[in-house]
């Protein structure tokens, strides 16, 4: 069964003193956690590769999306990603398409999903430690998805 899902984050990927939770919801639910330490180390390694500060932050977000979505191939028909990095959609979408070979361009769009979204609630609950994430992402895994 295919679902139209929404994706949201709680805790910014550019704040290296706090964790980030990425969640998807509507019909199916999943959440991952990027710890502050994992984000910080990944960011430093990306910067060492001469990646710009802003692109490194966006790439960490996009890599988190890849990890969140990677095993959902048969469950997803349409993906609405909350507009976290306005103006960077043209970098995020190709990154997703490059890493998720099954994903088609017409399956993904970006929009503000708002605080009433179940994805927002799930990301917030995971960020606040009221719900355990489905996965805690390692530095190696995040770098592979970058």
Tens digit of pLDDT at every position of the chain (146 positions):
578 899 999 999 999 999 999 999 988 999 999 999 999 999 999 999 999 999 999 999 999 999 999 998 888 889 999 998 999 999 999 999 999 999 999 999 999 998 889 999 999 999 999 999 999 999 999 999 99
Q: What is the pTM of this model?
A: 0.94
Total count of domains within the chain: 1
Kindly give the interhelix angle for 53-69 and 89-99, rounded to the nearest 10 degrees. Answer: 40
Place of tokens 């507009």: 83
Closest residue by Cα to residue 130 from 31, 60, 57:
31
Kindly give the interhelix angle for 36-48 and 53-69, rounded to the nearest 10 degrees. Answer: 130
Helix (H, G, I), strand (E, B) or coil at 6: strand
Show the domain range for 21: 3-145
CATH number of residue 67's parent domain: 3.30.420
């Amino acid at each position: 069964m295919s679902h139209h899902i929404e994706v949201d984050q709680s805790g910014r990927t550019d704040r290296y003193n706090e964790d980030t939770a990425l969640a998807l919801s509507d019909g199916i639910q999943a959440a991952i956690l990027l710890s502050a330490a994992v984000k910080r180390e990944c960011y430093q390694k990306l910067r060492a590769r001469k990646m710009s500060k802003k692109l490194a932050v966006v790439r960490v977000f996009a890599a988190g999306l890849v990890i969140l979505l990677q095993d959902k191939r048969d469950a997803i028909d349409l993906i609405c990603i909350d507009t976290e990095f306005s103006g960077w959609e043209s970098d995020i979408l190709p990154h997703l398409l490059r890493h998720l070979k099954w994903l088609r361009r017409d399956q993904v769009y970006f929009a503000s999903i708002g605080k009433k979204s179940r994805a927002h609630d799930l990301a917030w609950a995971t960020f606040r430690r009221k719900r355990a994430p489905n996965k805690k992402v390692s530095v190696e895994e995040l770098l592979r998805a970058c």
